[in-house]
Structure 1
Amino acid sequence: MRSNFNSSKNWSMNKHEIFFAVGPSQFLGDLGGLNREGTQKSIVDLDWSSTRIGGGLGYRFRFHPRWATSTQLYFALVNGADSNTDEIIRRSRNLSFRSPILELSQRIEFIILANEKRGARYGLGKGMRTKADMLYIFTGISGFYYNPQTKINGSWTNLRPLKTEGQGLPNGADEYGNLSLAIPFGIGFKIAIGEFWRIGMEVSYNKTFTDYIDDVSTEYYDPAILASEVGQDAVYAANPAIENHSWFTEGMQRGNDQDKDAYLFANIVLTRNITYPKPKRGRRVKWRGRTKF
């Protein structure tokens, strides 16, 4: 039986799926990057030494031959460090961070290509191997939790309470929270590895609505006010410059608030089809070696 979007109903045998994803994660923001000045937080500025790992699970509902929607819960770690670059300004600034990303996303997927055929059970029948191959793109909306930290005296310390850019203090930056939104843009493919299983890969670029995943966005704040209002840990976290200290004083640029942070996921995805056929009245349906009526 030929499989196409116009006449075949093979797609309906894959309406409901659960999936598991794992792979590397990357941060695109004000910290880290290549040995040059920042490039507006784009993928050309990836710092491969800062790659971390993430994983998640989700549910996909196929409601049309070309369209599906999926819900995913995902956890990843991201980080960045100026010490990873030889670009003199960024290296001298010497800022660093790490943050968890706990994300709940709702995506809409458009299926570009599909080859879906239901194979013979028990391996019988020439040319009857199950096919469920697919190429798709997706976007959507996600909400996520983040919590930037840096090391102070060898211990990881939450940065948000330290108000490193004077958040909430006189003439300082606006305060930020631990929750934000993002828009994912991605592409994926998958192939059948059995009657019920598929394996594939997805790459997702997630543009956020915050510039504080790395706690860096605007200008250096008055260290005297930080010391009196918050403490010496805040003074150090705000400006740990290791050289060229005159470049990093009150009112000087600390980050770039004209472009929001982003993160990147590249996942191996294992998918399990959980769409079971509904037997017609008076007709036997064999399913995984059992007979149902």
Structure 2
Amino acid sequence: MRRILLFFLVLSSSIVFGQNSGGFGNSKNWSLNKHEVFFNIGSTHFLGDLGGLNREGTQKSLVDLDLSSTRIGGGIGYRFRFHPRWATSTQLQFGIVSGADANTDEVIRRSRNLSFRSPILELSQRVEFIVLSKEEGGARYSRLGTKGRSTKADMLYVFSGISGFYYNPQTQINGSWTNLRPLRTEGQGLPGGQEEYGKFSIAIPMGIGLKFAIGKFWRLGMEVSFNKTFTDYIDDVSTDYYDPEVLAKKVGKDAVYAADPSIENHTWFTAGQQRGNPDDKDAYIFTNLTVTRNITYKKTRGMSRGRWNGRTKF
């Protein structure tokens, strides 16, 4: 993902500096878009220990993306533009992520047969660098028979920041979705097991976005955000198999099944054997269609159809 972002950054920067100021220069048009609210909807993708393509795990990189586990998400946010090239945004995003070993033909992962889903409720604070921008205000006064200038607010930007998110992995047991954290599938909190994990963690969002004007106050765009987390338990899988006899005694039979629902080659999945890969943390991706509303200024009373009264509030 970093290589993709670097490619777009270098490409876009070359476009900017190859043009006459790239829409910036001494123009003050950016100040007409200082305050915005936005809404988005799109797809979610998970990169973790479960699912993936028909190969062994590839350190949770984009080449291991399982498109069949795509789910839906959406969110709202506020953006403050404080410089021609810089903005900051606060966003609340919700989505579902999932993964299943049954989706791959790689024999070890398919035999392991683990699966999960988890909600992601994320609050993020981001800093955006505007790589390329073309912003021109439309005509304020309209005259009969005169075609006014159309509004332009086209923009290419990259971003990063920090986010906090809630997650709660579940799996299906006897047809019902069951919370995995209380089942202690890797012996969390039990003798010789792993440390217990919580329901909250943080992530570093990195991404790229593109948007363009569809009116005086509205923009339509697309945004991709790769979110690298600091937990390896969004899918409840990280380290080794725990002793099933201890699980049965301390937690119950549901814990034994959730820890090891393998469907074949059972000797590969005994206590002490590798269950996941703790060396690389989980990640998730939001791919969103965005709709942005400019709230920097508004029409005042006295405006009639297509006619400004000359007073604009900032």
TM-score bracket relative to the smaller structure: over 0.9
Partner of 2:235: 214
User: Structure 2 vs 1, CA of residues 85 and 10 (structure 1 numbering), >3 Å: closer, same or farther?
Assistant: same
**Structure 1 residue runs without a partner (length 5+):** none
Note the C-alpha offset of 1:278.
10
Q: How does 1:141-290 map to 2 (within 5 A)?
A: 141-276=162-297, 289=307
Note the C-alpha offset of 1:286.
5.7
Q: Tell me if 1:66 matches 2:89.
A: no
SS at match of 2:197: coil
Q: CA-to-partner distance for each residue in 1:10-37, whole Å, 9 max, x for gaps?
A: 0000000000010010000000000110
Q: How does 1:84-103 map to 2 (within 5 A)?
A: 84-103=103-122
Which AA in structure 1 matches 2:154?
D
- Matches of 1:41 and 1:84 in 2, distance apart? 16
- Matches of 1:110 and 1:31 in 2, distance apart? 34
- Matches of 1:19 and 1:271 in 2, distance apart? 4
- Matches of 2:43 and 2:35 in 1, distance apart? 27
User: Structure 2 vs 1, CA of residues 263 and 140 (structure 1 numbering), >3 Å: closer, same or farther?
Assistant: same
Partner of 1:291: 309
Q: State the identity as a percent.
A: 73
User: Structure 2 vs 1, CA of residues 221 and 13 (structure 1 numbering), >3 Å: closer, same or farther?
Assistant: same
Q: Tell me if 1:15 matches 2:30.
A: no
User: Structure 2 vs 1, CA of residues 142 and 103 (structure 1 numbering), >3 Å: closer, same or farther?
Assistant: same
Which AA in structure 2 matches 1:154?
G
SS at match of 1:226: helix
Note the C-alpha offset of 1:128.
1.1
Q: How does 1:73-88 map to 2 (within 5 A)?
A: 73-88=92-107
**Structure 2 residue runs without a partner (length 5+):** 1-20
Q: How does 1:111-150 map to 2 (within 5 A)?
A: 111-121=130-140, 128-150=149-171
Note the C-alpha offset of 1:291.
3.3
Which AA in structure 2 matches 1:232?
K
The CA RMSD measured in Å over matched residues stands at: 2.0
Q: CA-to-partner distance for each residue in 1:53-92, whole Å, 9 max, x for gaps?
A: 0000000000000000000000000000000000000000
- Matches of 2:52 and 2:292 in 1, distance apart? 34
Which stretch of structure 1 is more off in the superposition, 117-126 or 107-116?
117-126
What TM-score comes out, normalization by structure 1 length? 0.94
What TM-score comes out, normalization by structure 2 length? 0.88
User: Structure 2 vs 1, CA of residues 137 and 231 (structure 1 numbering), >3 Å: closer, same or farther?
Assistant: same
Note the C-alpha offset of 1:164.
0.1
- Matches of 2:71 and 2:151 in 1, distance apart? 35
Contact 2:24 2:134 in 1 (8 A): no
Note the C-alpha offset of 1:120.
1.3
Q: Which has more helix, going by share of residues?
A: 2
SS at match of 1:39: coil
SS at match of 1:166: coil
- Matches of 2:295 and 2:302 in 1, distance apart? 16
Contact 2:22 2:132 in 1 (8 A): no
Note the C-alpha offset of 1:6.
2.8
User: Structure 2 vs 1, CA of residues 195 and 107 (structure 1 numbering), >3 Å: closer, same or farther?
Assistant: same
- Matches of 1:232 and 1:225 in 2, distance apart? 10
- Matches of 1:203 and 1:123 in 2, distance apart? 38
Contact 1:105 1:140 in 2 (8 A): yes
User: Structure 2 vs 1, CA of residues 182 and 123 (structure 1 numbering), >3 Å: closer, same or farther?
Assistant: farther
Q: CA-to-partner distance for each residue in 1:146-182, whole Å, 9 max, x for gaps?
A: 0000000110000000000000101101110000000
Note the C-alpha offset of 1:101.
0.1
Note the C-alpha offset of 1:122.
6.9
User: Structure 2 vs 1, CA of residues 123 and 256 (structure 1 numbering), >3 Å: closer, same or farther?
Assistant: farther
Note the C-alpha offset of 1:4.
3.2
The aligned length equals 288
